[in-house]
Amino acid sequence: MFGGIHLVRHDTRIDFMRIHRPLMILSILLVLASIVLVATKGLNYGIDFKGGILMEVRTSGPADLAGMRETLSNLGLGEVSLQQFGSPQDVLVRLRQQEGGDAAQGAAVQKVKDTLGTTVEYRRTEVVGPKVGGELIWKAIYATLLALVGIAAYIWFRYEWQFGLNAILATFHDVITTVGMFSLLGLQFDLASVAAVLTIAGYSVNDTVVIYDRIRDELRRYKKLPVSDIINQSINKTLARTTVTSGLTLLSVLAIALFGGEALRGFAIALIWGILIGTYSTIFVASPMLIYMNLRGIRAKASAAPAETATASAPAKPK
Amino acid sequence: MLNFRPWKVSLIVLTLLVGVIAALPNLFTREQLDAMPNWLPKQQITLGLDLQGGSHLLLEVDIKAVIDEFLNGVVDSVRAAFRKANIGYSDLGVKGTSVTLKLRDTTQLDAARKLLKDSAPGLDVSVSDDGSASLTLNDQAILERQRNAVAQSIEIIRRRIDETGTREPTIQRQGTDRILVQLPGVKDPEHIKALIGKTAKMTFRFVDATVSVDQAKAGNLPPTSEILPSAQNGGDGQPLAYYVVQKRVMVSGENLIDAQATFQDAQPVVSFRFDSLGAKRFGDATRENVGKLFAIVLDGKVISAPVIRDAIMSGSGVISGSFTTQTANDLALLLRAGALPAPLTVIEERTVGADLGADSIAAGKFACLIGLVLIVVAMVVLYGLFGVFADIALVLNAVLLLGALSLLGATLTLPGIAGIALTLGMAIDANVLIFERIREEVHNGRSPIASLDHGFNEARRTIIDANVTHLISSLILFMLGSGPVKGFAVTLSFGVLTSMFTSVLVTRLIVVLWYRRARPAALPV
């Protein structure tokens, strides 16, 4: 018979609420900075959104990037971007969307193939025409908003509107700062990135709900305690779970980032960031903000339910 | 806590068994599976195009061309009808979705109205007192034509692709005017794109001998003829020649019933056969025009323009042009499959080589395995014996997820593999919630059995709330996502469901079985 180690002591009493003000200001600044970044610097849209051509080729020996750049630039297809992709033999060729509508895109692909010849292996070809790109952006924004509304509605339904509102604010915080990070680092923003953002939203809400669940419990149990103490207590009591879950999820996503292959790396990096920001926002944004919502109003409702009455310090009686 | 109803236990065990059996075929190769007896399950996880290699093409039907062509046909019949009835008109032409004209004599309004109604049934006719008249396609009719054009295009594309021998292509309508074509395992999508990209509208017409090409270019072109380039290019990329060809069609490709690539004088040619109507028309036309040239026109280009030596009554013939075996085969295929009602444009293409797909699977599998091992070890370190229980549930969860994906024929894509890794990480959350709750109860001084009972019960609600929100975002991702993203959403949604099942019910069952046997004085958490 053997037990495990306790990563977090069961009786931690970290005063999270004490530092919530400066962190909240930091969060607001982060969100504002992200918005400003996206508005000014913009996002490095992948071909999913801005249209264009992407080809992954494998050369027989180590790729001669300079030589390829030279020959491809002379085709008159506009700016050609070449990038090493994984092994020295693999090269990503990017062309921006060609003038002349959808048919011109295919012609450009053919030109590149004629130029590079049959000595290279064409591992991947993606062409997104001008029409599709614009549609995909709107579809992505629409999907993100719809997901947020769906989640808010569920939390509102299961909890109270204050919880729903805060969870959504915290999720917006995570989504916006994630997009801001994409802008800051110049990471490619494509359909997979949108999937990553939505996953981050899902993860973040998942994390938030766990703590909210506990806060609601404690609110019913300890009626006299100030709300900020209840929040503190709830975060402390779920801290072990938060650490373990975030840690293990990070581990599995890290494995994807390191070993999952080149194509999934960007995706995995976005998720790593998302897990970090999601965990942070649950503790320092979603929870503290509850004290500004009139949770006392909820008490009236909660007291109608048969709740255990106990004082703050005494442990709950064993049944 | 301890009394697990027997029916519940059997249901859990049964579900796990079904999951394991459904997941099993994935351990074998296709050949091994084919060699096994038929009563064994053989459904494997369907791999997305990004994993098995292949092409995804999104095509757009040029609806405007369909409408224009239809309206131009209306113009022709109106012209003929008015000429026959001797009604004067001017400015006859197509404007947007209407055919418009102006009547010279306003006393003929009623006669014209009747004539217009008869010449194009289904169109809205309006004739105003000042003599301006129009025939308009209403929205309903436009929609219907769109639907027909797309349906017909899908049928033709299917025939063309089937002839190339591609295995299991998917050809689907998307939206009002798009067609999604997915070709698993295709190595040379360019060839198929070239086949799909041809409208393949074939007509047999007479060469207009009354004017030379130069005269026609100088503006002397009769309204009933047009200048068409030859299909063959000279060395400079320009057409080899131009022809003045009558607009009137002698026989069209619709009257073909068969076309085959054959050889004539060691040259690849395409032999064809007309149906009875086509044969009669072709026979009559050739008999009356011996010595003249006729042009075989494909998509506005002249393939060849032979002299009519004598009447061709057999209803069959050959097209010679400078074909290679490949181009002759392709032309025969296109003629057999029929013409598209409108040109198609490729507006999105994603092609992945089979090698890259195999590399992606290998990397993905490896990463998932590493992730799994890390989590399994961490859980034992963190929770000891209970960690082992959670690990068993986790592995069962992975098997169940693979089984569900196989059974339901869901498609696994590259991001889907990331979804599995993420699911494994998150699946453990439910057990962590339960175990931490149990620890808390133990610290609060409850008895082992009460701690377990409370731990599981209190955590269950949290688990459901947390996972439902996650499920909502995955489902929305599924509904609105496309391609690989959809694949990610599928694995994530199933992952949430299977992990809720395994971590809540299976872990609980294992813990109960252990408790009944061990009856511990203190819980090893």
- β-pairing verdict for B294-298 and B267-274: unpaired
- The pLDDT, as a whole number, for residue A297 is 60
Q: What is the pLDDT of residue B2?
A: 66
DSSP designation for B230: B
Q: Which two tokens stand for residue B121?
A: 């049934």
> Across the interface, do A110 and B190 touch by the CB < 8 Å criterion?
yes
Token code pair at residue A42: 């913009």
CA nearest to B416 within chain A: A264
For residue B167, what are the CA distances in angstroms to B54, B158, B185, B348, B489? 11, 12, 8, 21, 26
Q: Do A131 and B60 lie within an 8 Å CB cutoff? A: yes
Q: What is the pLDDT of residues A233-257, one digit of tens each?
A: 999 999 999 999 999 999 999 999 9
8-state DSSP, B314: S
Rg (CA), chain A: 25
Nearest-10 Cα torsion for B474, B479, B484, B489: 20
Question: pLDDT by residue (tens digit) across A21-30?
Answer: 899 999 999 9
Higher pLDDT, B420 or B481: B420
Q: Is B341 on the interface with A (CB under 8 A)?
A: no
Q: Is A167 exposed, middle or buried (0-12, 13-18, 19+ CB in 10 A)?
A: buried
pLDDT score recorded for residue A298: 56
Report d(CA B453, CA B441) in Å as an integer.
10
pLDDT at A1: 43
Q: Which residue has the tokens 């075989």?
A: B296
- Restricting to B residues 55-94, those with a Cβ less than 8 Å away from any Cβ of A are 58, 60
Give me the mean pLDDT over the B413-427 stretch: 84
- Output b/e per residue, A231-240; b: 16+ Cβ within 10 A: bbbbbbbbbb
- In angstroms, the CA B467 to CA B495 distance is 10
pLDDT at B228: 92
3-state secondary structure of A305: coil
Q: Token digits for B217? A: 């270019």
| Contact list, A175 vs chain B (CB under 8 Å) | none
Joined tokens for residue B280:
């009669």
The backbone torsions φ and ψ at residue A24, rounded to the nearest 5 degrees and listed phi first, read -65, -40
**Closest CA in chain B for residue A212:** B462
Query: B433-454 burial string, b = 16+ CB within 10 Å, else e?
Result: bbbbbbbbbbeeebebebbbbb
Q: Which residue from A123, A129, A139 is facing B353, i.e. has the nearest CB? A: A123
Best residue in B346, B347, B414, B462 to probe A by mutation, most A CBs within 10 Å? B347
Q: What is the C-alpha to C-alpha distance for residues B508 and B34, in angstroms, rounded to an integer?
A: 39
pLDDT in tens, B114-141: 888 887 777 888 888 888 888 888 888 8
CB contact under 8 A, B425 and A123: no
More confident site: B480 or B218: B218
> Containing H/E element for A89?
strand A87-96
Cβ B446–A255 below 8 Å, yes or no? no
Strand partners, B148: none
pLDDT over 70 at B369, yes or no:
yes
Q: Which residues between 459 and 478 in chain B have a beta carbon less than 8 angstroms from any beta carbon of chain A?
A: 461-462, 465-470, 472-474, 476-477
Res B187 pLDDT > 50: yes
What is the percentage of chain B residues whose pLDDT exceeds 90?
18
Q: Where are the domains of chain A?
A: 16-43+133-299, 52-128
**H-helix segments, B289-353:** 325-337
Q: Are strands A188-189 and A44-45 parallel, antiparallel or unpaired?
A: parallel
- A75 φ/ψ angles, rounded to the nearest 5 degrees: -80, -10
Residue A192 at interface with chain B, using a CB cutoff of 8 Å: yes
**CA neighbours within 13 Å on the CB side: how many for A60?**
5
For residue A248, CA distances in Å to B281, B373, B421 come to: 77, 11, 11
Confidence of residue A180 (pLDDT cuts 50, 70, 90): very high
How does pLDDT run across B6-54, given as a tens digit for each residue? 888 888 999 999 999 888 888 888 788 888 888 777 788 888 888 888 8
Contact between A199 and B492 (Cβ < 8 Å): yes
**DSSP state string for B422-434:** HHHHHHHHHHHHH
Q: How far is CA A128 from the centre of its chain?
A: 25
CA-wise closest residue to B315 among B337, B282, B271, B270: B282
Please state, as a whole number, how many other Cβ atoms lie within 10 Å of the Cβ of residue B288: 10
B507 pLDDT above the threshold of 80? yes
Q: Indicate the SS3 state at residue B155.
A: helix
Judge: B347–A131 Cβ closer than 8 Å, yes or no: yes
pLDDT in tens, A263-290: 888 888 889 999 999 999 999 988 988 8
Of B345, B385, B418, the CB nearest to A103: B345
Give the end-to-end CA distance of chain A in Å, rounded to a whole number: 26
Per CATH, which fold does A52-128 belong to?
Alpha-Beta Plaits (3.30.70)
Which pLDDT value is given to residue B53? Answer: 87
The shortest CB-CB distance from B347 to any of A102, A150, A195 is to A102
Chain A interface includes B525 (CB < 8 A): yes
Extract the tokens encoding B76: 């022709």
Write the CB contacts of B99 (distance below 8 Å, at least 6 apart in sequence).
B71, B74, B75, B78, B92, B93, B120, B123, B134, B135, B136
Q: For the sheet containing B170-174, what is the strand order?
A: A80-85, A87-96, A52-58, A121-128, B344-352, B54-61, B178-184, B170-174
Residue A205: closest CA among chain B residues belongs to which residue?
Answer: B469
What integer best gives the mean pLDDT of chain B? Answer: 86
Partner-chain residue, chosen from B417, B465, B485, that has the shortest CB–CB distance to A158 = B465
CATH class of A16-43+133-299: mainly alpha
| A192/chain B closest Cα distance in angstroms | 6
HEC-encoded secondary structure of B364-402: HHHHHHHHHHHHHHHHHHHHHHHHHHHHHHHHHHHHHHH
Question: What pLDDT, on the 0 to 100 scale, is given for residue B72?
Answer: 84
| Contact partners, residue B62, CB within 8 Å, separation at least 6 | B342, B343, B344, B345
Closest CA to A4 of B434, B104, B386, B425: B386
pLDDT digits (tens, 9 = 90+) for B232-245: 877 677 888 899 99
Residue B175 with chain A: CB contacts under 8 Å: none
Tell me: pLDDT of B468 over 80.
Answer: yes
Angle between helices A191-221 and B448-480 (to 10 degrees): 150
pLDDT band of B484, cuts 50, 70, 90: low
User: CB–CB of B514/B488 below 8 Å?
Assistant: no
Q: Which of A248, A264, A316 sits opposite B378 (nearest CB)?
A: A248
- Pairwise CB contact (< 8 Å): A128 & B348: yes
The amino acid occupying position B473 is S
For the ranges A169-173, A294-298, B26-30, B43-47, the one whose mean pLDDT is highest: A169-173
Q: Using CA atoms, how far apart are residues A252 and A111, in angstroms rounded to an integer?
A: 42
B352–A206 C-beta distance less than 8 A: no
- Residue pLDDT, tens place only, B317-339: 888 877 888 888 888 888 888 88
**Taking the CB of residue B197, how many other CB atoms lie within 10 A of it?**
18
- In B, which residues are within 8 Å of A190 by CB distance? none
Q: In what order do the strands lie in the sheet with B202-206?
A: B251-252, B202-206, B294-298, B301-304
- Residue-wise pLDDT for A3-53, tens only, equals 777 777 777 788 888 888 899 999 999 999 999 999 999 998 888 888 889
How big is the CA angle at B242 (ends B239 and B244), to the nearest 5 degrees?
Answer: 155
CA-CA distance, B478 to B487, in Å (whole number)?
8
Residues paired with residue B258 on neighbouring β-strands, in sequence order: B273
C-alpha dist (Å) from residue B507 to A124, B285, B399, B455, B467: 43, 83, 15, 12, 17
Asked if the Cβ–Cβ distance from A260 to B418 is below 8 Å, we say yes
Cβ neighbors of B65 (< 8 A, separation 6 or more) are: B342, B343
Q: Closest Cα to residue B54, out of B161, B142, B204?
A: B161
Q: Does B344 touch chain A (CB under 8 A)?
A: no
Residue B388: which of B339, B431, B430, B441 has the closest Cα? B431
pLDDT tens profile B434-448 = 999 999 888 888 999
Q: How many helices (H) and strands (E) are present in chain A, helices listed first?
A: 11, 6
Nearest CA of chain A to the CA of B435: how many Å? Answer: 9
ipTM of this complex: 0.83
Cα–Cα distance for residue pair B409/B364, rounded to 1 Å: 20
Residues of A in contact with B345 (CB under 8 A): 101-103, 129
Q: Determine whether the interchain pair A245/B470 forms a contact, defined as Cβ–Cβ distance below 8 Å.
A: no
Spacing of C-alpha A185 from chain mean position: 14
Nearest to B347 among A4, A126, A129 (CB): A129
Contact between A231 and A180 (Cβ < 8 Å): no
Dihedrals phi, psi of A254, to nearest 5 degrees: -60, -40
Interchain contact, A198 vs B382, CB within 8 Å: no
Q: Which residues lie below 8 Å from residue A67, measured CB to CB, with a gap of 6+?
A: none
Residues of A in contact with B377 (CB under 8 A): none
